[in-house]
Amino acid sequence: MALRQSQNLRLLQKLSPQQIQLMKLLQLPTLALEERIKEELELNPALEEDDAEKADSEEELFENEDSSDEKEETETSEFEEPEILKVDDQVEMEDYMGDEEIDSYKYEVSNQGADNESREFVVVEGPDFHSLLESQLGLKDLNESEYTIGLYLIGCVDEDGYVRRELNLIVDDLAFSYNITVDIVTVEKVLKVIQEFDPVGVGARNLQECLMIQLERKKVKTKETLLAIEIVKNMMDEFSKKHFEKISHKLNIDNEELKEVIAEITHLNPRPGSNEGATSSSAVVPDFIVSVSDGKAELSINSRNLPDLKISKEYIEMLKEYSKQKNKNGKEATSFIKSKIENAQWFIEALHQRHQTMMVSMYAIMEYQEDYFITGDESKLKPMILKDIATKVNLDISTVSRVANSKYVQTPYGTFLLKTFFSESLSTDSGEEVSSREVKNILKIFVDAEDKKKPLTDDLLCDILKEKGYNIARRTVAKYREQLDIPVARMRKEI
């Protein structure tokens, strides 16, 4: 068959680089966005932070050319819109940006009002978890080969403090990566040395070994400690499945003694590495703030950490100078500077669009759940899915999903993940549609109030909810229970 050339005309839908950049920025929470801005400032010299004290003297403020923006500002009058600053008229960008049309570019965005309270948090950082282990390794009397093995094993310690990689695979890694030929016995010997380090239990290969290390390291071994060692060593399967009757029968002890032994085990740390070397603050920074004034919910966006950005005037002047040169070096420099300015402009524009999209979407959510935000009564939460908000604000569902992802909203009743306000609908006996979040709250109340000696099964929980008027299946109860991180009835059983 002969090869032939042909022309086809097709319509394709393709995201532009600017749209991709906007989507990536949109899904970032406040702290991650702050880091992204710092990264962009380092990568692009044409982008710079604006000095608030010198802004009035160095830049002229102009009114917005786009009159259509006034309508958006009126619709969201409760929110503070970022100011849009323009480049000095003496620098005519149209002369230096090629043949592309320049339509009211916005070269600066302000996301922080003058009245916003500025808060700084000092986070003291110490050596990380692995550095602490390495410092302890240096105090041990090991030869060069054993020290190298110890460093590799420390590198295998995960965030929970466990070495989960099989020792035979570690032997192969040492042979290929460090040209060290050892056997499993030697690696296990060095691992035992690491298991003597602090925090107690680090370097264990599984939960059973972790608990055994902690119990055996106790200086004073009481009767409860000795029984706990016996349970962890020989009855770990029964203990994990909470077969307390079998354990008490094998140990020949009563329930009160067993309760003390179980308390001895449950006070151990199953994740010795999880609270070591922490360097970041666990405080939640809300992206939105909802307040109630005179019975009306008001919305603002938390942008206290976002700097004011603008295009560097030096780069604009450089573009002006190099564009006058007609030689090869002048054209290359002009092309480079132009690309940097364009990238900076796209980034600033993406930040502005992110701000607008987040405000519009959150405002729609607040209107949809107005009764809850005013009263704080979770029974007034309406069933709401992404499609409801996407239709309301005329945006794609994926865009609304990015807005809701990993974002927090601060309300007078607490700070919540935004996605928790999205819930499925459930019908009652009266035909009323209620939010699944309301059902989850009722489910949690019954589980908290249950008799832990005889915890409620999913079937019993289903019957209780049906008596309350909620038409719900047992598998739905199981799904909601798992979403609430509530274990099955057998695992909730206590003595």
Task: Give the model confidence (pLDDT) of 456-480 as tens digits.
Answer: 888 888 888 888 888 888 888 888 8
Whether the per-residue pLDDT at 191 is higher than 90: the answer is: yes
CB 275 within 8 A of CB 235: no
Question: What number of CA atoms fall less than 13 Å from residue 317's CA on the CB side?
Answer: 3
Helix (H) or strand (E) holding 40: helix 30-43
The 10 Å Cβ neighbour count of residue 102 is 12
Q: How confident is the model at residue 119 (pLDDT cuts 50, 70, 90)?
A: very low
Is residue 51 very low, low, confident or very high in pLDDT (cuts 50, 70, 90)? low
Average pLDDT (144-169) is: 91
Token pair of 14, please? 């393709």
Mean pLDDT of 113-137: 63
pLDDT for the residue numbered 430: 65
DSSP SS3 for 167? helix
* Positive or negative: CA dihedral 246, 249, 255, 257: negative
Instruction: State the Cα–Cα distance between residues 302 and 289, nearest whole angstrom.
Output: 7
* 189: pLDDT strictly greater than 90: yes
Mean pLDDT of 395-401: 89
DSSP result, 72-135: HHHHTTTSPPPPEE---TTS-GGGTSTTS-------EE----TTSPP----------HHHHHHH
- Residue 31: the pLDDT is 82
485 has a pLDDT exceeding 70: yes
Q: Collect contacts of 377-384 with beta carbons under 8 A, ≥24 apart.
A: 378/437, 378/438, 378/441, 379/434, 379/438, 381/421, 381/423, 381/435, 381/437, 381/438, 382/433, 382/435, 383/423, 383/424, 383/425, 383/426, 383/433, 383/434, 383/435, 383/436, 384/421, 384/422, 384/423, 384/435
Question: Helix or strand or coil: residue 415?
Answer: strand
> How confident is the model over 430-452, as a mean pLDDT?
80
- pLDDT exceeds cutoff 50 at 60: no
The three-state secondary structure class of 414 is: strand
Distance of CA 47 to the CA centre of its chain: 27
pLDDT tens digits, 299-324: 888 765 566 888 888 888 888 887 77
Summarize pLDDT for 256-273 with one digit per residue, the tens: 888 888 888 889 999 888
Per mean pLDDT, which range of 35-49, 90-104, 453-467 is the poorest?
A: 90-104
The answer on pLDDT for 130 being more than 60 is yes
Q: Which pLDDT tens digit goes with each residue over 269-297?
A: 998 887 654 444 456 788 889 998 888 88
Question: 436-449 and 458-467 are packed helices; what angle lies between their axes, rounded to 10 degrees?
Answer: 120
**Structural domains in the chain plus CATH codes:** 17-112+287-372 (no CATH), 129-266 (no CATH), 425-492 (1.10.10.60)
Q: 25: pLDDT confidence band, cut at 50, 70 and 90?
A: confident
Mean of all residue pLDDT scores within the chain: 78
pLDDT score of 395 more than 60: yes
User: What tokens were used for 343?
Assistant: 């990238």
pLDDT number for residue 326: 76
Residue 275 pLDDT: 64
* Nearest-angstrom CA–CA distance, 354 and 348: 10
| Closest listed residue to residue 213, CA positions, set 189, 235, 197, 234 | 197
Name the region of 317 (left: φ>0; alpha: ψ -120 to 50; beta: rest). Answer: alpha
